[in-house]
Chains A and B, each alone.
Chain A
Amino acid sequence: MKIARKQMKADVPSVAMGDIAFNLLIFFVILARAQDDSHLQWQPARAEHLEAAESKVGVVIDNQNKLYVNGREIGVSQLAGEIEKALGDLPFGQRTVLLKVHKDATALYYEPVIEAVSEAGGDLLHVLEEERK
């Protein structure tokens, strides 16, 4: 007589689902942060009468005078082409380029960037902090 083997159940415990989702989320958040420019170190200059805007293109000059387009480091000579590519065929009025320059960066670094945005046909928006009196 054959004795039937006892079948063992090997289910993934459903209790762990929350933790799995949590870890997945952290993974994708870190991945997303690496692609945008929120990890870059820069301090905005201050001014009055600011307006809000959104854009597909963000140019950053960080506190070490390094230049980034949408979080990717780039040389100033490639900047105009890169902005043009990112803006594509967007119509006038939607070609805003967000310029985030560290407050202590010098003209040697930000003037060529302003020129490149102009060359690419972008509408420049200097990202600043509201001055409170």
Chain B
Amino acid sequence: MSIKRNTSKLLVEPAAVATGDIAFNLIVFFLVCASTQPDSGRKQSLPSSEKTKETQQDKQNIELALTRTRAVVSLNGDPVKLPELRGRLQRVLEGKTRSEDRVVVVKSKPDVPYDHWIAVTSLVQDVGASITIQREEEQTVTVGN
């Protein structure tokens, strides 16, 4: 027959004094994590803008007109469905090797939403063309590729 020893069990609790320090360290940890997360996006190199009148050169460039309608854009005056735009742009750019020939003038109506503009300009950049923004008051901003 085994005899059980009557040992007194000690209750071990973490010191309540340390709770503040634990909270402090947790906050520092999450703060550091949050602040080190970099932003990600798409780069566009921007030469200085210039105010220009509509010139003959503009007419030679590829013109892309955007409206609020997301499904269709206008490429050199022809309506093009957005899924077909990449192919059409590639065809238009075919054989154009000089960077000045691969400029796409983007004209947007004032109510064009940013996500639509980004979708279209990203596509233009992906096919290797440069973007020039033409605003209604005839100010042209070249935004590279």
A residues near B (Cβ < 8 Å) are: 15, 17-19, 21-22, 25-26, 29, 45-55, 61, 96, 98-108, 110-112, 114-115, 117-119, 121-128, 130
Contacts and interface: CB of A to CB of B under 8 A. Distances in A.
Given A115-B135, A128-B118, A22 B39 contact: no
At the interface, is chain A mostly helix, strand, loop or mixed?
mixed
15 contacts: A18-B20, A29-B31, A45-B119, A47-B119, A53-B38, A54-B39, A96-B43, A114-B141, A117-B46, A118-B49, A118-B142, A122-B46, A124-B46, A125-B41, A126-B118
A15 B143 CA distance: 59
B3 interface: no
B41 A22 contact: no
B54 interface: no
A126 B43 CA distance: 6
A79 B58 CA distance: 28
A106 B114 contact: yes
A98 B38 CA distance: 11
Interface of B: 17-21, 23-24, 27-28, 31, 38-49, 66, 108-115, 117-119, 122, 126, 133, 135, 139, 141-143
B115 A51 contact: no
A107 B118 contact: no
Contacts of B41: 47, 50-51, 53, 98-99, 125-128
B42 A17 contact: no
Given A53-B39, A118-B47, A125-B42, 9 more contacts: A18-B19, A46-B115, A53-B41, A107-B109, A110-B114, A123-B43, A123-B44, A128-B42, A130-B40
Contacts of B141: 114-115, 118
B35 to A, nearest CB: 9
A123 B115 contact: no
Contacts of B112: 106-107
A105 B108 CA distance: 13
A102 B24 contact: no
Contact of B49 (A54, A108, A119, A130): A119
A17 B48 CA distance: 55
A52 B46 contact: no
A22 B27 CA distance: 9
B105 to A, nearest CB: 13
A47 B143 CA distance: 17
Contacts of A114: 46, 133, 141, 143
A96 B135 CA distance: 23
